[in-house]
Amino acid sequence: MEDLIVAFLRSGTPIVYVALAGVIAQRAGVWNLGLEGLMIVGACATIVTIRLTGSLPLALAVAVLLCCALSALLWFVVEILKANQIIAGLGITGLGLGGTALALTAIFGSEAAVNAPFGLPRIGPAFGAFGGLSVLVALMPVLVFGTWLVLCRTRFGLRLSACGEHPFAARAIGVSPTLMRLWALLLGAPFCALAGAELAAGSLQMFSVNMTSGRGFMGFAAVIFGAGHPVGAALAAFFFAFAGALGIRAQLLYGDRVPSALLLALPYLATVAGLWLSARLGRRSTASGPNELGRL
Amino acid sequence: MTTQLAVVFRTFAFILAALLLCALIFAAVGLSATETLQGVIEGALFRPRALDHVLRWALPLLITSVGVVICFRAGFFNIGAQGQFYMGAIAAAFAAEALRGTSPLVAVPLCLAAGMAGGALWALWPALLRVRAGADEVITTMMGNFIAALALVHVTSGPLKDPSGSGQATSSRPIDAAHRISETTGTSPVILATAVLVVLLGWWLTRRTAFGILSGLAGRNPSMVAWQGARVESIAISAFLFSGGLAGLAGSIELLGPNGRLASGFLPTHGFTAILIGLVSSLSVLATVVVALFFGALASAALYLPIVAGLPAAAIEIINASIALFITARADAVRGVLSRWRSRWKT
């Protein structure tokens, strides 16, 4: 039971982080489909920098900076050049996936997985079976609460949400939705970097090409399933992770009877079911996002 | 005419911007940008039998992207071309296995039809979820891609596993040699004829039928079309079915043609590239022909780069992604920004 919970927390945390970034962006009126790309850049930057310099703070700083740069690029293309958010977001994802593969070949000579000598600090043996979890897992509830506090209880957060709900109203009180979306994306970027760092350095301490395998998109689906609320999105992310942990557990128990590839599909199926549910539950207005979210 | 020229001009301007971004990224990871681009051009155009190689990649992409155009025109972001492509290939592989030993005149059309059915069915459930429940099709089709990739792993390591294959790389038995529609190198009159037929039918469907006109309108203003009494639901579902069917057709062509067997994780970027082709051609079926040749050339260069220039194939992925990033940017937005900057300088 305990190791099931550990596996569950371990697989859920990166999705929660990336979902928080998605919530911030969505509230400001940006469908951020670049989350997957930002996350893998965060993962790659963390491991590669640890490997090259041996410094964890530096690694996290590089990851955050790269994610901020990519987010700013997405903002420029979407808000200034008025490109379609979905396609531009997928472009960022492609840049992240391709760019990390390219970086590995350029630095290490091949696309093989890269190991780091150490990863994120663990919460320590005092916590028994949970001691192997990284500090980012322990920090996660704090950050979810903090995001809720900032988004729903501060002037800045409400203004940010106004930019997604009704940009004209925001503009009327002197808030520039364009600029606010930049802040929203830049605020989300560190969350993506942490999501990647947790995924790559939280327990595995290695990076391999395409290792995010859709977790960024799951985070995005968690935003929709969680109706754009930080706590809701975090719960939705854990729901997807639960399906994933269950799949891995079922593989160990029933692997000989049920094809393992189909059990691995469980988190994706859970995501689809989550989307279907949130659409069915009549949250159509939030499920399709704030009014201002653009389509082609 | 001038507006069409403007569209072409705009498109190329943004492709230039994308290439500039690529050059920056290549420079950042320590690759020479000019060398890479030179390698790309050489690989695409100036190697022996270059045209064959380009066509080998361009024709299946062209078929999938005609489907993408049909669905996007109707206003649905069917990102699931990759999954539908895989499901088509899987269905065709089952058909090919069942029809082993029969005449190719029977087997090939049946396999292609099975591929279309497989792809269309894989597009049907996101369509129903979208139309009946209102679930966003971007994420459902995206999840469909992951599920289809896992289904491919399952099929190639389970029901269709090649018993003589090694444990590591999973693939199916090679299909009956008589049923192959091209050599491994990839082009043949059959594939070319299919692609031409698909383009002509796609053009006719989008420009000359009630479905085409209505779906184009529905893409821009669904409530207007609904108020005028058209059945938006059936338009939506047909659009998804066409799109999935064509992606499935491309999958079965890849199976019967160049690949000759089903391998897990084959051509992982096919769907995304096809979506790009649809967008770059501004959702016009005839334009996809030219654009598919361009991206086919890039894909053919991707295989050439590591062999000859020692450059990583991921370089092509970067080029594709940067084009995706910029391709939907609006020219009038740029003009607006420029004029704002200019007025700022004046005051």
Nearest residue on chain A to B138, judged by CA atoms?
A86
Instruction: Report which secondary-structure segment, H or E, holds B95.
Output: helix B81-98
**Local structure of B167: helix, strand or coil:** coil
How many H helices and E strands in chain A? 13, 2
**pLDDT by residue (tens digit) across B133-190?**
888 888 899 899 999 999 998 898 878 887 776 655 678 888 888 888 888 777 889 9
Amino acid at A247: G
Chain-wide mean pLDDT for chain B? 86
Between CA B160 and CA B246 the distance in angstroms is 23
**pLDDT by residue (tens digit) across A1-10?**
777 888 888 8
Give the per-residue pLDDT at A294: 44
Query: Cβ distance B117 to B245 under 8 Å?
Result: yes
Of A89, A56, A75, the closest CA to residue A193 belongs to A56
Hey, what's the torsion of the CAs at A272, A275, A276, A278, to 10 degrees?
Answer: 150
Give the per-residue pLDDT at A196: 95
Give the per-residue pLDDT at A133: 87
Q: Looking at the complex, report in whole angstroms how far the Cα of residue A278 sits from the nearest Cα belonging to chain B.
A: 8
Between CA A259 and CA A248 the distance in angstroms is 12
Chain A residues in contact with B79 by the CB 8 A cut-off are 90
**Local structure of A84: helix, strand or coil:** coil
Chain B residues in contact with A220 by the CB 8 A cut-off are 139
Query: Cβ distance B256 to B180 under 8 Å?
Result: yes
A116 and chain B in contact, CB less than 8 A: no
Q: Which phi and psi angles does A114 have, rounded to 5°?
A: -115, 130
Give the per-residue pLDDT at B323: 87
Structure tokens at A261: 């590839």
Q: What is the mean pLDDT of residues B294-308?
A: 83
Give the per-residue pLDDT at A287: 39
Hey, are the CB atoms on A288 and B79 less than 8 Å from each other?
Answer: no
Q: What is the mean pLDDT of residues B317-340?
A: 76
Give the per-residue pLDDT at A108: 87
Hey, are the CB atoms on B143 and A279 less than 8 Å from each other?
Answer: no
Give the per-residue pLDDT at A51: 92
Between CA B269 and CA B263 the distance in angstroms is 15
Of A247, A293, A296, A291, the closest CA to residue A271 belongs to A247
Burial class (CB in 10 A: 0-12, 13-18, 19+), B255: buried
Residue A200 pLDDT more than 90?
yes
Query: Cβ distance A100 to A44 under 8 Å?
Result: yes
**Vertex A166, ends A163 and A167: CA angle to 5°?**
50
Which residue among A87, A92, A275 places its CB closest to the CB of B136? A275
Query: Cβ distance A241 to A137 under 8 Å?
Result: no
- Supply the pTM of this predicted model: 0.88
Chain B residues in contact with A90 by the CB 8 A cut-off are 79, 272, 275, 324
Query: Residue A282's pLDDT band (boundaries 50, 70, 90)?
Result: low
Neighbours of A253 (CB within 10 A): 10
Give B196's contacts (C-beta < 8 A, 6+ positions apart). Answer: none
Between CA A156 and CA A27 the distance in angstroms is 12
Please indicate, yes or no, if residue A132 is contained in any of the structural domains.
yes
DSSP bridge partners of A114? A207
CA B156, chain centre distance (Å) = 23
Which residue among A81, A103, A107 places its CB closest to the CB of B330? A81
Please indicate, yes or no, if residue A292 is contained in any of the structural domains.
no
Give the per-residue pLDDT at B244: 97
Query: Cβ distance A130 to A6 under 8 Å?
Result: yes
Hey, are the CB atoms on B146 and A287 less than 8 Å from each other?
Answer: no
**pLDDT by residue (tens digit) across B234-261?**
999 999 999 999 999 999 999 999 988 8
Q: Looking at the complex, report in whole angstroms how far the Cα of residue A103 sits from the nearest Cα belonging to chain B.
A: 6
Chain A residues in contact with B129 by the CB 8 A cut-off are 272, 275-276, 279
Q: What is the CATH number of the domain that holds A244?
A: 1.10.3470
Give A111's contacts (C-beta < 8 A, 6+ positions apart). Answer: A101, A104, A105, A209, B312, B314
Please indicate, yes or no, if residue A55 is contained in any of the structural domains.
yes
Amino acid at B212: G
Give the per-residue pLDDT at B165: 62
Q: Which residues 159-198 of chain A have a CB within 8 Å of chain B?
A: none
Between CA A194 and CA B75 the distance in angstroms is 35
Q: What is the mean pLDDT of residues A173-191?
A: 94
Give the per-residue pLDDT at B342: 61
- Structural domain count, chain A: 1
Residue B331 pLDDT more than 70?
no
Chain B residues in contact with A82 by the CB 8 A cut-off are 329-330, 333
Give the per-residue pLDDT at B345: 56
* Per-position DSSP letters for A120-181, written without gaps between them: SPB--GGGGGGGGSBHHHHHHHHHHHHHHHHHHHSHHHHHHHHHHH-HHHHHHTT--HHHHH
Residue A56 pLDDT more than 70?
yes
Structure tokens at A14: 């990166």
Give the per-residue pLDDT at B171: 82
Interface probe for B, chosen from A36, A74, A86, A87 (most Cβ of B below 10 Å), is A87
Give the per-residue pLDDT at A147: 95
Q: Which of A30-39, A267-276, B273-282, B338-347 has the lowest mean pLDDT?
A: B338-347
**Local structure of B209: helix, strand or coil:** coil
Give the per-residue pLDDT at B288: 92
Between CA A80 and CA A61 the distance in angstroms is 27
Please indicate, yes or no, if residue A294 is contained in any of the structural domains.
no
Give the per-residue pLDDT at B336: 64
Distances from the Cα of B124 to the Cα of A79, A222, A277, B67, B108, angstroms:
34, 23, 18, 14, 24
**pLDDT by residue (tens digit) across B74-100?**
989 899 999 999 999 999 999 999 998
Amino acid at B213: I
Chain A residues in contact with B150 by the CB 8 A cut-off are 261-262, 264-265, 268
Structure tokens at A262: 């189909």
Q: Looking at the complex, report in whole angstroms how far the Cα of residue B257 sits from the nearest Cα belonging to chain A.
A: 27
Structure tokens at A34: 């670049």
Residue A267 pLDDT more than 50?
yes
Query: Cβ distance B142 to A230 under 8 Å?
Result: no
Q: What is the mean pLDDT of residues A30-37?
A: 93
Please indicate, yes or no, if residue A139 is contained in any of the structural domains.
yes
Residue A114 pLDDT more than 60?
yes
Q: Looking at the complex, report in whole angstroms how far the Cα of residue B252 sits from the nearest Cα belonging to chain A.
A: 22
Give the per-residue pLDDT at A198: 94
- Domain residues for the domain of A264 are 2-287
| ipTM for this model | 0.86
Which residue among B143, B315, B325 places its CB closest to the CB of A271? B143
